[in-house]
Every structure is written in structure tokens, then in C-alpha cells.
Structure 1
Amino acid sequence: MPEHTHASPATHDGNSRRLVLAFVVTALFMIAEVAGGIISGSLALLADAGHMLTDAAALLVAILAVRFARRDPTAQHSFGYLRLTTLAAFVNAAALMVIVVIIVWEAIRRFLAPAPVMGPTMLAVAVAGLLANLLAFWLLHHGSEEKNINVRAAALHVLGDLLGSVGAIAAAIVIMWTGWTPIDPILSVLVSCLVLRSAWRLLKESTNELLEGTPLGIDSVKLQKALCREFPEVRNVHHVHIWQIGEQRLMTLHVHVIPPHDHDALLDRLQHYLEEHYHIGHATIQMEYQGCEEPDCDLTHHAAQSAGHAHHHH
């Protein structure tokens, strides 16, 4: 469906390449951080590696989204494969929750029985991690002029990760200067909270999309009222369904109208309005001319309007 792809293949390729590069950088450093965390005995590094895993996963979802968005729909999958990315985001978020629980559990154990931590090793790995994050962020930030939601999400992930690396560096310096090891589990819990926040948001959004929920930011009741207000021919709007697949918003609705002179023009105006105000690029509108069981749009609203007009005439 050509009318729904707004980006040229060239920007897609550019995005895809940047995403793949950022993914490679992040994944390699995640492995380095896990190794560093185990060698130095630092939980903050492991927590940061958990955070980098969320980044790597977010980047992978973004890469898949760019790839799948290019696949043509089939008779079997009329929307193409965009839902796979939502599913991947959901799995990613659920896995993160588990990681956070493990890290917090381990932090509590460490707090009760402090373990030795090698400050210098921890510092070296944390600084390298910070540089890797900066590189990944630079790659992504360059690519997000074309505002792809997945690239944006990945850039935000990496930004949160920068904070995680800074935390690990701070913990390493404290341990090297004062030898106070509990700072390590304390900071690992703080980093976990960052991970939890992004994981929770991701879980909420992907669940909403998988359950065919109304896209965030659209109030379908307000939308119905807006249609009645903007189009004098519209008596009422019902059987409204709005959902989202990938970045594509879809809608079906029944519109009870006063028989128009030009049916197609009204349909066109309705579709334009939905696209312009709600970014719904694909609306299936069923027009009805007969009276229907539902109450009129907003009789009180019309009454108020006519009262207002009467008032003006005085």
C-alpha cells in the first residue's frame, strides 16, 4: 500500500544501517560488561549490562521493524508482519522485568553480606561502557531526523543507559577511594529502577497494541463528539473501533448522516479530518441514512447551539 509509506527506501536503508551498527556496539559492550562485572565482582556493572541488554533488544526490535515494514502484505497476513515487532517489544519488556527482579534480589543479598569489589577493573569497564553508549547514541541520534518511533525508542533507551554507566563509574570511584562496597548494590538498585521504568512503559504500550487497544493519546469519546461538532451533516457516530499495527492507525466506524448531496465528498472530508487530526491513515466509514437505535449525536449540544443563535439575533 504505497500511500502509507512516507519514507523513501534510502532513508530506510540509512536508518537500518545505523541501527545495526548501534546494535553491534551495544551487544559487544553488554558482553564486556557482563564479563567485567563477574571478574570485578560488581553488581552495578551487571545491572548496567542488564540495561544494555534492554538497549540491544530495543535496537533489535527496531531493526526488525524496519525490515518487516518493507515486506509486502500477503493474502494470509493482510497487514504484513508489523505485529511481530510489537510481540518482540512485549517479550523484551517481560524479560527485563525478570532481570530487574534478579538484580534487586542479589543486591539485597550483597547488602546483608558485602562482597569484595575490584574498583579499578570496575572503573575501566564502566568508562568503556559509557563511551560505547555515547557512540551508539550518536549513531541513533543522527538517524532520527526521519522520526521513526523505533529509532526514537532505541535512542531513549541508550540515553537511559548513559546514566547507568555514570552510576557504575561513580560507584567504582567511591570504592577505590573509601573501600565502602555497599555503594555497589545501592547503585545497582537505582539502575534497575531506570530499567524497570522503561520496561514498564514498553510492556504497557505493547500490551495495549496486542489487545487492539485504542492508540495512546486518542480518546474515542472525544473523537465521536468532534466529528459531530465539525460536520453538521453528521447526526451520530457509533460502532467506533480504533487500533494500531506498527505505526499504522486503523479505524472502523458507522456514521449516521442527513442524506448528503454529495456522498463521496462527505466521505472524503471525514477521512481527511481523521488523518489530519488523529493520524488515522486508514478509516473504513459506513454511512447510514435511516434512523437508528442509538440516540442522536448530542441533541443537547444542538439545542444549545440554536439557543445561542436565538440569543445572537436579539
Structure 2
Amino acid sequence: MPHDHSHAHLPQDANARRLLIAFSVTAIFMLLEVIGGIISGSLALLADAGHMLTDAAALLVALLAVQFARRPPDAHRTFGWLRLTTLAAFVNALALVVITLFIFWEAIMRFRHPEPVAGGLMLTIAFAGLVANLLSFWVLHRGSEEKNLNVRAAALHVMGDLLGSVGAIIAALVILWTGWTPVDPILSVLVSALVLRSAWRLLKESVNELLEGAPRSVDIAALKRKLSRAVPEVRDIHHVHIWLVGEKPLMTLHVRVVPPHDHDALLGRIHHFLAHEYQIAHATVQMEYQPCSGLDCDLSQTQPGHHHHDHGHNHSH
């Protein structure tokens, strides 16, 4: 095959292996919790299974990101398959919102008409879930020295899920000791609230990326100011577009500069600034020597012409 490069010992392979182990463990125990929740009649177990589903989905998205990042771009997909992970995250988040709302509704029904809960079975499965989460977290945490964003994010998901398992264990113990079954829907609502929070954040981030929104970590106005200070030859910056493709920031911008003695060296300094200050490794920079006079010089400005000329004069010293 033409694309068979020597990737055998890259850190991505170790990350992919960790993610696959953690995903397998989480998915198996999620199914166990679903079955156990139905048999024991525990809503807290089902809520924790919902939380484990968030983790399984997050681990799967992270695993897909590692795998698809390796696929080279082609003539039809010039960015490769990276955006597929964002689409998966969006679908995952929508599904989680629906599951959480179902658990909330079921909890309200349980308060009105309490149902018996098999505390012993519930405790056994909740404890097994806790062990599974600890195992997944340990596997993922060993990969954190490589500072892989996907692995770290997945480890945080699993750490959050530990709370769900602890909640289910507490509910089971209360039922075994006191027979007070309303603790089950109460804790299921608390766990579901955690799931809803994660799902809502994931939904916002994935929608922002699908709509080509700028990363929230980047302040474009501040970027313009800093670039003008870092590279004194820069007189004006316009047509700035920044977006994400599979967590990778991409950027295009026009810069009006003082005609340089060494065009490539100046371009290199601009790229170096973007890579080191904002971790933007892929930027398309168009250098210009004349002031921008078109109405669309800056899409974010209502009166673009005045802004750019003022900006130019500020640096003419």
C-alpha cells in the first residue's frame, strides 16, 4: 500500500491501545449496569450506566480521533477524516440529553409510585462498576505523560464517572440498611445532572466546531494586537478566519506589512508567533503592501475602512 508508513512505535499507538482497553472495560461494565439496573429495579444503576455511556462514547470518539488522524487527506477530503469525530461527539451529546431526560422522568414516576429495589444485587454491580472505572482511569492516567489531549479528556470523563459509581453504592447501602427506596431515584437524579452537564458542554463545543466557530480559547482582537507588537513590520491585520478541524486549529489571515527585505523571513516570524503563542501550526498568511480598501476588509467590523487606516497610522513610527 502506498500509505504504509513506519508508525509501529509512535506514541499514538500506545494512546490508541490505552483508549481501546479503557473503552472495552467501560462498555462491558456499562452493559452489566444496564442489565443489573433492570433486574434489580435500581434507577441509580441505570443513571450510572448512562454516565458510563458518556465515558464509553468519549473514549470511542478519542479512539476514532487517534485512528482517523492517521488517514491522509485525499482529493475529496482535503482535511482528511478529522471532522468525523466532531460529528460523533454531536450525536453522542444529543443521545445523552435524551437518556438523561428519560431518567429524570422515570425518577419523578418512582417518587409517586415507589418500586422495590434489590439492594444486594445493586451493591454488587455498583461495586463492580467502581472497580471498572478505577481500572480505566489507571490505564488512561499512565498515558498522561505524553500530554495527549484526547487521552487526558477521556481520563477526566472516567474520573467523573467514579462519582456515579460511588452514588450507586451509597444508594444500595442505604436500601440494605434502612429499606428506604426513595434514595435510589434521588441519587439517580444527582448522577443524571452530572451527565447532563457533560452532555450540554459537549453539545455546545461540537456545534461550535460544526458551524466553523472560532475556538473559545482564542481572542481574535487580542491576537491582532499581540501580532502587531511581536512583529513591528505588521501594519494591519484583516480577513482573519480561525476554526477547528478535529481539535486542530486552522487559520487564514491577511497582513499588511512594510515591504520587507526578506519576504520569507518575515513570513516565518509570523508563522512562528502563531505556532508558539496560539498553537496554530496550520496558518495561511497572505502578505500585502497596500492598505485594504474593500468593504469586506474585516467581516467583524461595521465600518471596516476607518478601523484599518487608524490601525495603520498607530504603527507608522
Among candidates 309, 313, 317, match of residue 296 of structure 1: 309
Per the alignment, residue 285 of structure 2 pairs with 285
Per the alignment, residue 3 of structure 2 pairs with none
Per the alignment, residue 76 of structure 2 pairs with 76
1:265 maps to 2:278: no
1:231 maps to 2:244: no
Measured at CA, do residues 297 and 155 of structure 1 come closer, stay the same or move farther in structure 2, by a change above 3 Å? farther
Measured at CA, do residues 8 and 289 of structure 1 come closer, stay the same or move farther in structure 2, by a change above 3 Å? farther
1:62 maps to 2:62: yes
Per the alignment, residue 131 of structure 1 pairs with 131
Per the alignment, residue 93 of structure 1 pairs with 93
Structure 1: which amino acid aligns with 2:171?
A
Q: In the TM superposition, what is the alpha-carbon distance from 1:203 to its structure 2 partner?
A: 1.1
Measured at CA, do residues 162 and 198 of structure 1 come closer, stay the same or move farther in structure 2, by a change above 3 Å? same
CA distance in 2, matches of 1:190, 1:142: 30
User: In the TM superposition, what are the counterparts of 1:12-23 in structure 2 within 5 Å?
Assistant: 12-23=12-23
CA distance in 1, matches of 2:197, 2:136: 21
Runs of 4+, deviation exceeding 6 Å:
none
Post-superposition Cα deviations, 1:167-206, rounded to whole Å, max 9, x if no partner, equal 0000011111111111100000000011111111111111
1:259–1:289 CA contact under 8 A, matched in 2: yes
Measured at CA, do residues 216 and 8 of structure 1 come closer, stay the same or move farther in structure 2, by a change above 3 Å? farther
2:27–2:56 CA contact under 8 A, matched in 1: yes
Output the TM-score relative to the length of structure 2: 0.90
RMSD of aligned residue pairs (Cα, Å): 1.6
CA distance in 1, matches of 2:9, 2:312: 49
Structure 2: which amino acid aligns with 1:272?
H
User: In the TM superposition, what are the counterparts of 1:1-314 in structure 2 within 5 Å?
Assistant: 9-293=9-293, 294=305, 295-296=308-309, 298=311, 301-302=314-315
CA distance in 1, matches of 2:233, 2:157: 47
Bigger CA drift: 74-83 or 256-265? Answer: 256-265
Post-superposition Cα deviations, 1:210-230, rounded to whole Å, max 9, x if no partner, equal 111111200111111212222
CA distance in 2, matches of 1:14, 1:21: 11
Structure 1: which amino acid aligns with 2:268?
D
1:235–1:297 CA contact under 8 A, matched in 2: no
Aligned to 2:274, the other structure's residue is in SS state helix
Bigger CA drift: 293-302 or 205-214? Answer: 293-302
Aligned to 1:250, the other structure's residue is in SS state strand
CA distance in 2, matches of 1:162, 1:21: 17
1:31–1:49 CA contact under 8 A, matched in 2: yes
1:228–1:297 CA contact under 8 A, matched in 2: no
Post-superposition Cα deviations, 1:24-45, rounded to whole Å, max 9, x if no partner, equal 1111101110111111110000
CA distance in 2, matches of 1:72, 1:130: 39
Q: In the TM superposition, what is the alpha-carbon distance from 1:248 to its structure 2 partner?
A: 1.9
CA distance in 2, matches of 1:9, 1:204: 35
CA distance in 2, matches of 1:147, 1:203: 24
1:57–1:92 CA contact under 8 A, matched in 2: yes
Structure 1: which amino acid aligns with 2:166?
V
Aligned to 2:146, the other structure's residue is in SS state coil
Structure 1: which amino acid aligns with 2:142?
H
Structure 2: which amino acid aligns with 1:178?
T
Per the alignment, residue 312 of structure 1 pairs with none
CA distance in 1, matches of 2:242, 2:8: 27
Measured at CA, do residues 160 and 225 of structure 1 come closer, stay the same or move farther in structure 2, by a change above 3 Å? same
Bigger CA drift: 211-220 or 142-151? Answer: 142-151
Post-superposition Cα deviations, 1:19-72, rounded to whole Å, max 9, x if no partner, equal 111111111101110111111110000000011111111111111111101111
Q: In the TM superposition, what is the alpha-carbon distance from 1:301 to its structure 2 partner?
A: 4.9
Structure 2: which amino acid aligns with 1:170?
I
Structure 2: which amino acid aligns with 1:273?
F
1:44–1:168 CA contact under 8 A, matched in 2: yes
Q: In the TM superposition, what is the alpha-carbon distance from 1:297 to its structure 2 partner?
A: 5.8
Structure 1: which amino acid aligns with 2:256?
H
Output the TM-score relative to the length of structure 1: 0.91
1:236–1:256 CA contact under 8 A, matched in 2: yes
Q: In the TM superposition, what is the alpha-carbon distance from 1:299 to its structure 2 partner?
A: 5.8
CA distance in 2, matches of 1:132, 1:79: 36
Structure 2: which amino acid aligns with 1:184?
D
Post-superposition Cα deviations, 1:127-182, rounded to whole Å, max 9, x if no partner, equal 01100110011111112222222212211111111000000000011111111111
